[in-house]
């Protein structure tokens, strides 16, 4: 679109925000932008509508159609209300849960959403204060609700906020409900169509009762209470990184029996400005730096962290030299699956119909552990809504042990349907106590897993391509990898090639076509090679980049061989990058 045409369209859209349907403060801000000689801000705020996608809304807060504000949140809630009333028309009373995190304006957006739902005749259970996303998922099931929302932008920077919508099983919506809701949201053309005048009689505030029920339910999944009792005073540093885990996670650790939980006071401060970090992401070393320093100062054994909405877990453990190292998402998932299956077997709970779930880009060692122990493994697309979909499809038929993804999310229980850092922190602490009971550290446990099941090293590589030409270049790269599959990568023959956009695959050795059993298509390609390497390729849905997930495997006979295996893996990853041209 030419610059003048774009500006005319933006000005036209902005002028619609000057009607009485919008509050005085919003109108004043729009007038300020319209009056400014520099049109950059005006264009950024209005050049498109912030999309209510399959994961809800996420964006920068501010005035305008391309920003998170009471009107874009309001349209999302009105659209969801309209769909719920169609889908559950036979119900006497439709019910929803509303949760929110520590971000700036999250409480405001939660209050606005409660008013809109109630104005549409929908019963609202609203948390009295900030709460973890997994607790909101739990509450949907506990209270028999048809839907729920959480106001959060997960681990995004402080300028962002978001809105995630859930269905009656406590999981994020998938087709057809996500698409049907999007269609209803897209029908909202003006703020005058949003029912902002709430019915307070339909809004019920919830809090400690749900907290207690949630923690009580989490206590049922403990597998090694005797180990915790013997090592209850193990020093554990925990940080919520200014977020919702601040009370629930320490309370859950205490309910499990841990008595020596050390806080990071600076990061216990609830603030949407996240004052001690650039990004509140437990994947990043900088976000855990204060907690690691606290662990060094107090001689603690374990560092645990959660992101602002307490669904992602981060951890730091001591290596054999006593130095703290961060455990990545694949390693955390590996430790969880190994421990859960091992303890289930020891407790006689493996009956032959149990299963675990991972995403297709998560380490294949999880498959090895599951298969060797007679546990079924399900692969699914990236995103916990797909793990929840596997759980939904197996409900009443098979028994869920656990599920996880490489992006620091894990779920140990079936009464929540999203990744859960509350249970993950409790179980990870339990695993540390269990390992200690067996005369080893978490680091040594991870080493032993590698010796028993094989060594793997994973690396995520993002290639950024800016602008329109960048998007075209990414499309061309995907097209080339898709239409001209590599026959060899880093000196190893390709054995399987999968194209999830067509749900077709190819066994190179047999030259046989394969049909992929997945619930829908996705723009993802995968290569498997003779030496056990796996390369997954997909364009980002939210950023101008193409992502490569590389996993290489090796075999070791002892812990002493791990250092050399790690070096070989790093060299192999570099060779793979050359083969891929990145």
Write down which residue in 453, 474, 504 finishes a domain: 453
| CA–CA dist 99, 113 (Å, integer) | 10
Reading the block at residue 523, the tokens are: 């723009």
For 57-108, give the secondary structure using H, E and C. Answer: EEEEECCCCCCECHHHHHHHHHHHHHHHHHHCCCCCCCEEEEEECCCCCHHH
- Looking up residue 428, the CATH number of its domain turns out to be 3.40.120.10
Indicate whether 260 and 333 sit together in one domain.
yes
Please tell me whether residue 220 adopts helix, strand or coil conformation. coil
CB neighbours of residue 238 within 10 Å: 26
User: pLDDT digits over 76-121, tens only?
Assistant: 999 999 999 999 999 999 999 999 999 999 999 999 999 999 999 9
| CA–CA dist 342, 50 (Å, integer) | 46
Task: Give, as one character, the DSSP assignment of residue 497.
Answer: E
For 393-406, give the secondary structure using H, E and C. Answer: HHCCCCEEEEEEEC
Please report the pLDDT score of residue 402 as a whole number: 98
Contacts by residues 293-301 (CB-CB < 8 Å, ≥ 24 positions apart): 294/237, 294/262, 294/264, 295/235, 295/237, 295/262, 295/324, 296/324, 298/235, 298/237, 298/262, 299/235, 300/235, 300/236, 300/237, 300/262, 301/234, 301/235, 301/236, 301/432, 301/441
Indicate whether 192 and 235 sit together in one domain.
no
| CA–CA dist 111, 421 (Å, integer) | 25
Whole-angstrom distance between the N-terminal and C-terminal Cα of the chain?
32
CA-based radius of gyration for the chain: 25
| CA–CA dist 107, 109 (Å, integer) | 5
| CA–CA dist 31, 35 (Å, integer) | 6
Please report the pLDDT score of residue 542 as a whole number: 62
Scanning the structure block, which residue is given the tokens 């009485």? 20
User: pLDDT digits over 414-440, tens only?
Assistant: 999 999 999 999 999 999 999 999 999
Q: Which of 12, 132, 101, 120 is nearest to 65 (CA)?
A: 12
Please report the pLDDT score of residue 471 as a whole number: 82
Question: In the predicted model, is pLDDT for residue 166 greater than 90?
Answer: yes
| CA–CA dist 134, 144 (Å, integer) | 16
Indicate whether 354 and 474 sit together in one domain.
no
Write down which residue in 402, 433, 453 finishes a domain: 453
| CA–CA dist 348, 241 (Å, integer) | 38
Strands 147-151 and 160-167, sheet pairing: antiparallel
Indicate whether 145 and 91 sit together in one domain.
yes
Indicate whether 423 and 311 sit together in one domain.
yes
| CA–CA dist 7, 136 (Å, integer) | 42
Question: In the predicted model, is pLDDT for residue 461 greater than 70?
Answer: yes
Mean pLDDT score, 381-408 = 96
Angle at alpha carbon of residue 224, lines to 223 and 225, rounded to 5°: 110
**Residues with Cβ within 8 Å of residue 44, at least 6 apart in sequence:** 64, 66
- Looking up residue 476, the CATH number of its domain turns out to be 3.30.310
154 labelled catalytic: yes
CB of 387 closer than 8 Å to CB of 357: yes
Please report the pLDDT score of residue 466 as a whole number: 79
Query: pLDDT tier at 467 (50, 70, 90 boundaries)?
Result: confident
From the list 106, 113, 154, 407, the catalytic residue is 154
pTM of this prediction?
Answer: 0.96
User: pLDDT digits over 285-336, tens only?
Assistant: 999 999 999 999 999 999 999 999 999 999 999 999 999 999 999 999 999 9
**Mean pLDDT for the chain overall:** 96
Please report the pLDDT score of residue 4 as a whole number: 79
Mean pLDDT score, 262-290 = 97
User: Which residue range(s) make up the domain with 496?
Assistant: 456-580
CB neighbours of residue 215 within 10 Å: 18
Indicate whether 113 and 61 sit together in one domain.
yes
Angle at alpha carbon of residue 190, lines to 189 and 195, rounded to 5°: 115
Helical packing angle, 24-35 and 3-16, nearest 10°:
160
Indicate whether 415 and 461 sit together in one domain.
no
Task: Give, as one character, the DSSP assignment of residue 560.
Answer: G
Number of domains observed in the structure of the chain = 4
Q: Which of 308, 315, 302 is nearest to 237 (CA)?
A: 302
Scanning the structure block, which residue is given the tokens 């703020």? 191
Indicate whether 357 and 228 sit together in one domain.
yes
Mean pLDDT score, 149-166 = 95
Question: In the predicted model, is pLDDT for residue 1 greater than 60?
Answer: no
Mean pLDDT score, 471-487 = 92
Indicate whether 468 and 325 sit together in one domain.
no
**Residues with Cβ within 8 Å of residue 435, at least 6 apart in sequence:** 441, 442, 444, 445
For 506-552, give the secondary structure using H, E and C. Answer: EECCCCEEEECCCCCCCCCEEEEECCCCEEEEEECCCCCEEEEEEEE
Indicate whether 329 and 426 sit together in one domain.
yes
Write down which residue in 202, 235, 263 finishes a domain: 202
| CA–CA dist 405, 346 (Å, integer) | 25
Q: Which of 251, 245, 301, 296 is nearest to 268 (CA)?
A: 245
Indicate whether 192 and 211 sit together in one domain.
no
Please report the pLDDT score of residue 305 as a whole number: 98
User: pLDDT digits over 235-256, tens only?
Assistant: 999 999 999 999 999 999 999 9
Dihedral angle computed from the Cα positions of residues 468, 470, 472 and 478, in that order, rounded to the nearest 10 degrees:
-150
Please tell me whether residue 358 adopts helix, strand or coil conformation. strand
CB of 162 closer than 8 Å to CB of 311: no
Indicate whether 238 and 289 sit together in one domain.
yes
Reading the block at residue 320, the tokens are: 């054999």
CB neighbours of residue 203 within 10 Å: 18
Mean pLDDT score, 448-458 = 98
């Amino acid at each position: 679109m030419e610059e003048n045409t774009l500006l005319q369209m933006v000005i036209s859209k902005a002028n619609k925000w000057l009607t009485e349907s919008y509050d005085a403060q919003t109108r004043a801000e729009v007038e300020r932008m319209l009056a400014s000689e520099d049109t950059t801000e005006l264009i950024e705020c209005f050049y498109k509508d912030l999309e209510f996608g399959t994961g809800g809304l996420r964006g920068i807060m501010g005035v305008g159609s391309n920003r998170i504000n009471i009107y874009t949140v309001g349209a999302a809630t009105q659209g969801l209300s309209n769909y719920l009333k169609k889908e559950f028309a036979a119900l006497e009373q439709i019910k929803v849960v509303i949760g929110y995190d520590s971000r700036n304006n999250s409480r405001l957006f939660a209050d606005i959403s409660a008013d809109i739902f109630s104005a549409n005749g929908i019963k609202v259970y609203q948390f009295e204060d900030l709460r973890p996303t997994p607790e909101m998922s739990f509450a949907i099931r506990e209270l028999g609700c048809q839907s729920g929302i959480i106001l959060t932008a997960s681990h995004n920077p402080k300028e962002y906020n978001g809105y995630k919508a859930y269905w009656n099983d406590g999981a994020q919506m998938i087709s057809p409900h996500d698409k049907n809701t999007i269609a209803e949201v897209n029908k909202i053309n003006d703020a005058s169509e949003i029912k902002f005048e709430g019915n307070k009689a339909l809004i019920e505030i919830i809090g400690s009762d749900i907290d207690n029920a949630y923690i009580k339910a989490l206590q049922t999944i403990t597998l090694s209470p005797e180990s915790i009792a013997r090592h209850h005073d193990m020093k554990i540093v925990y940080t919520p990184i200014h977020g919702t885990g601040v009370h629930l996670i320490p309370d859950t650790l205490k309910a499990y029996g841990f008595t020596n939980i050390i806080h990071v006071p600076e990061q216990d401060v609830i603030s949407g400005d996240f004052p001690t970090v650039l990004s509140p992401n437990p994947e990043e070393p900088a976000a855990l730096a204060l907690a690691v320093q606290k662990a060094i100062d107090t001689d603690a054994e374990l560092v645990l962290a959660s992101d602002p909405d307490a669904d992602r877990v981060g951890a730091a453990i001591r290596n054999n030299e006593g130095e703290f190292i961060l455990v990545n998402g694949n390693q955390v998932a590996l430790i969880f699956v190994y421990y859960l299956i091992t303890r289930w077997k020891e407790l006689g709970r493996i009956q032959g119909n149990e299963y675990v779930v991972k995403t297709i880009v998560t380490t294949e060692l999880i498959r090895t552990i599951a298969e060797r122990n007679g546990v079924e493994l399900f692969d699914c697309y990236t995103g916990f809504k797909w793990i929840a979909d596997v759980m939904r499809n197996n409900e009443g038929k098979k028994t869920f042990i656990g599920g996880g993804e490489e992006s620091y999310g894990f779920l140990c229980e079936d009464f929540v349907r999203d990744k859960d850092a509350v249970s993950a922190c409790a179980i990870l602490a339990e695993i540390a106590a269990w390992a200690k009971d067996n005369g080893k550290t978490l680091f040594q446990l991870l080493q032993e897993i590698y010796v028993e099941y094989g060594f793997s090293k994973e690396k995520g590589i993002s290639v950024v391509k800016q602008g329109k030409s960048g998007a075209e270049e990414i499309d061309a790269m995907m097209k080339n990898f898709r239409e001209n599959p590599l026959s060899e990568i880093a000196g190893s023959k390709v054995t399987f090639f999968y194209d999830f956009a067509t749900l077709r695959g190819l066994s190179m050795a047999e030259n046989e076509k394969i049909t992929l059993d997945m619930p829908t298509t996705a723009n993802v390609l995968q290569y498997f090679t003779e030496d056990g390497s796996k390369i997954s390729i997909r364009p980002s849905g939210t950023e101008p980049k193409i992502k490569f997930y590389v996993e290489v495997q090796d075999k070791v006979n002892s812990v002493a061989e791990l250092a050399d295996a790690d070096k070989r893996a790093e060299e192999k990853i570099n060779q793979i990058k050359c083969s891929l041209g990145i």
